[in-house]
């Protein structure tokens, strides 16, 4: 068995400290549920499909009538009607007769088969088949996908477009999902200025706040941009403690070390518990993680591509855990170019 990579080990250490599924839940309209995490199992309110149906175009016949058919001795059937999609019942299928059906046509239970259109020879009001067919051939039986009461989508699933379609097919218009956590975002550094300010020598515009806010939204949380913190340790500690009062996560970019001091590491020790103090990997030194009670604190690099990469690896992982999501651990990728 291969050993875990330093990155995966650091991710697992951090996520193990994050309370799993500790967010409240709420009802969400299906049209707004894409990307939300199911808070409880979603069960099928009825059998799926809700009735026996043809899954190809052709003719439905009594299976027994086809058993003697061969190329040398084809069997003939009289065409006695049609079952269209949307019809609520299927007429009786008499021996030696067949009903034209389309994909989705309702069919009866019992020893019947659907003969595909290209396997028959039509001659006026009759058709012939040249081979035997097994029972229930190309018939989708009621409940074959899901029985009533069975789990259709398990809790912890981040709802995909396919999931949305599955839920809609069951006639469900609201789902119980984990509430979106609030993530307070700080940028740090004496050299950092608001991105709308005029550029001055030595300054760096704060692109991280909006970039990380977008990433937080994409990860299914609510971003709250607190602002730029100067390199004043006591004021920074006070601001983080205040933000902790109404945040589910704290996200800080930049400020790893100021002079000879491990600024952010000391800040985490002051506000909670330091868990990860750098990761032995490419550009891993600014990755610093901790917990303040039940609230994760994610600290990433100041360089925008690495800040985004750090949030993806650790912030998204923590948010998934908080929501009770069963999504896999985010994997590393080359940093995006700014």
Q: End of a domain among 115, 140, 165?
A: 140
What length does the chain have?
338
Are residue 34 and residue 155 in the same domain, yes or no? yes
Are residue 61 and residue 168 in the same domain, yes or no? no
Are residue 89 and residue 193 in the same domain, yes or no? no
Question: Looking at the domain assignment, is residue 92 inside a domain?
Answer: yes
The CATH number of whichever domain residue 17 belongs to comes to 3.40.980.10
Q: What is the mean pLDDT of residues 201-224?
A: 96
* Top-confidence range, 108-112, 228-232, 252-256: 108-112
Q: Is the pLDDT of residue 102 over 90?
A: yes
Give the pLDDT score at 338: 45
Q: Closest Cα partner for 117 from 96, 138, 132, 136?
A: 138
Task: Give the span between the Cα atoms of 77 and 70, in whole angstroms.
Answer: 14
Q: What is the mean pLDDT of residues 95-122?
A: 97
Structural domain including 41 reads 26-47+147-178
Q: What is the mean pLDDT of residues 302-325?
A: 95
Phi-psi region of 290 (alpha: psi -120 to 50; beta: other; left: phi over 0): beta
Question: Looking at the domain assignment, is residue 336 inside a domain?
Answer: no
Q: What is the mean pLDDT of residues 190-219?
A: 94
The CATH number of whichever domain residue 77 belongs to comes to 2.170.190.11
- Number of folded domains in the chain? 3
User: Which alpha helices (DSSP H) does 106-253 contain, by range?
Assistant: 161-169, 208-218, 233-244
Are residue 299 and residue 191 in the same domain, yes or no? yes
CB 112, CB 136: distance < 8 Å: yes
Across the beta sheet with 112-116, the strand order is 112-116, 58-62, 97-101, 75-83, 126-129, 120-123
User: What is the band of 231 on the pLDDT scale with cuts at 50, 70, 90?
Assistant: confident
Question: Looking at the domain assignment, is residue 41 inside a domain?
Answer: yes
Are residue 269 and residue 245 in the same domain, yes or no? yes
Question: Looking at the domain assignment, is residue 327 inside a domain?
Answer: no
Q: What is the 3-state secondary structure (H, E, C) of 70-116?
A: CCCCCEEEEEEEEECCCCCCCCCCCCCEEEEECCCCECCCCCEEEEE
Are residue 122 and residue 263 in the same domain, yes or no? no
Are residue 183 and residue 295 in the same domain, yes or no? yes
> For 173, what's the count of Cα atoms within 13 Å in the CB-facing half-sphere?
0
Instruction: Tell me the two tokens of residue 85.
Output: 């999609």
Give the whole-number percent of the chain exceeding pLDDT 90: 88
Q: What is the mean pLDDT of residues 334-338?
A: 50
Instruction: Tell me the two tokens of residue 126.
Output: 């009759």
Are residue 88 and residue 201 in the same domain, yes or no? no
For residue 177, the cross-strand partners are 26, 38
SS3 assignment, position 190: coil
Q: What is the mean pLDDT of residues 294-299?
A: 96
Are residue 219 and residue 262 in the same domain, yes or no? yes
Question: Looking at the domain assignment, is residue 233 inside a domain?
Answer: yes
Are residue 120 and residue 255 in the same domain, yes or no? no
Q: Is the pLDDT of residue 127 over 60?
A: yes
Task: Give the span between the Cα atoms of 305 and 301, in whole angstroms.
Answer: 9
The CATH number of whichever domain residue 162 belongs to comes to 3.90.105.10
Q: What does pTM read for this prediction? A: 0.82
Least trusted range by pLDDT, from 178-182, 187-191, 304-308, 333-337: 333-337
Are residue 117 and residue 41 in the same domain, yes or no? no
Q: What is the mean pLDDT of residues 241-246?
A: 97
Q: Is the pLDDT of residue 284 over 70?
A: no
Are residue 34 and residue 174 in the same domain, yes or no? yes
Task: Give the span between the Cα atoms of 187 and 229, in whole angstroms.
Answer: 6
User: What is the band of 1 on the pLDDT scale with cuts at 50, 70, 90?
Assistant: very low
Question: Looking at the domain assignment, is residue 282 inside a domain?
Answer: yes
Question: Looking at the domain assignment, is residue 330 inside a domain?
Answer: no
Question: Looking at the domain assignment, is residue 34 inside a domain?
Answer: yes
Q: Is the pLDDT of residue 259 over 60?
A: no
Q: Taking each helix axis from N to C terminus, what angle separates 263-271 and 233-244, rounded to the nearest 10 degrees?
A: 40
Instruction: Tell me the two tokens of residue 281.
Output: 């990997």
User: What is the band of 281 on the pLDDT scale with cuts at 50, 70, 90?
Assistant: confident
């Amino acid at each position: 068995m291969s050993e875990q990579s330093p990155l995966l080990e650091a991710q697992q250490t951090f996520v193990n400290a994050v309370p799993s599924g500790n967010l409240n839940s709420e009802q969400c309209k299906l049209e707004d549920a894409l990307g939300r995490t199911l808070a409880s199992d979603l069960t099928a309110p009825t059998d799926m499909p809700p009735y026996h149906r043809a899954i190809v175009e052709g003719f439905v016949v009594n299976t027994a009538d086809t058993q003697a058919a061969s190329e040398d001795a084809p069997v003939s059937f009289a065409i006695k009607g049609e079952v269209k999609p949307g019809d609520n019942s299927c007429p009786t299928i008499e021996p030696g007769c067949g009903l034209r059906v389309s994909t989705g046509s309702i069919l009866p239970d019992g020893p019947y088969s659907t003969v595909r259109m290209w396997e028959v020879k039509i001659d006026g009001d009759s058709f012939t088949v040249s081979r035997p067919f097994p029972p229930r051939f190309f018939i989708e039986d009621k409940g074959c996908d899901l029985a009533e009461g069975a789990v259709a989508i398990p809790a912890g699933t981040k709802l995909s477009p396919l999931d949305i379609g599955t839920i809609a097919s069951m006639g469900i218009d609201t789902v119980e999902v984990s509430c979106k956590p609030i993530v307070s975002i700080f940028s740090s550094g004496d050299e950092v200025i608001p991105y709308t300010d005029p550029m001055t020598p030595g300054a760096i515009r704060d692109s991280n706040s909006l970039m990380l806010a977008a990433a937080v939204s994409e990860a299914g949380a609510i971003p709250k941009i607190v602002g730029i913190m100067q390199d004043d340790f006591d004021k920074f500690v006070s601001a983080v403690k205040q933000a902790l009062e109404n945040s589910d996560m704290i996200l800080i970019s930049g400020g790893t070390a100021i002079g000879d001091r491990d600024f952010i590491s000391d800040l985490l020790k002051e506000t909670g518990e330091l868990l990860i103090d750098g990761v032995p990997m490419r550009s891993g030194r600014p990755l610093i993680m901790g917990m303040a009670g039940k609230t994760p604190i994610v600290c990433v690099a100041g360089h925008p591509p690495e800040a985004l990469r750090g949030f993806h690896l650790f912030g998204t992982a923590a948010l998934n855990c908080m929501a009770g999501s069963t999504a896999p651990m985010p994997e590393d990728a080359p940093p995006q170019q700014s």
